[in-house]
Amino acid sequence: MNLGRKRHCSLQKLALARFLKNGHFKSMRSPLASLSKFDFIGVFFLRVGLGALVAYNGFPLLIGGVETYERVGSAVSIIGIHSLHLLFGLASAVIQSVGGLFLLFGILTRGIALLLSIIIGFAIAQLILSAE
């Protein structure tokens, strides 16, 4: 009887040690844990959707001409740059159209995402300041 009690105590200690090591019991596994192997599908659809959206928005800017470049490039006046609006507008249009395609196809994803985030940040800031 005493031997059975010692074995029971050692099993409890083993279970407690596993819990402390892993943070959970083996039997308490989440029923959705097996879906983690499909994480890339959600990221893929986000990347393709945002890339298509940005490219769709960028191509009319690219073929819009000098007036469009000046209007888009004027967003940098928020940070005190009051010249070279044409250059900044052209750069923004090229980054949006070509960067959207790159994002769509997964080419240079992190760099393009950084550039697009900066451009979208300026667009949002200009929108907020024009509403005031």
Per-10-residue mean pLDDT, the chain, length 132? 56 66 59 72 91 94 93 91 93 95 93 94 91 78
pLDDT of residue 20: 64
Q: Which phi and psi (to 5°) does residue 59 adopt?
A: -65, -40
pLDDT of residue 117: 94
pLDDT of residue 42: 86
- The pair of structure tokens assigned to 28 is 């308490």
- The pair of structure tokens assigned to 108 is 């240079």
Residue whose pair of structure tokens reads 């888009």 in the numeric block: 72
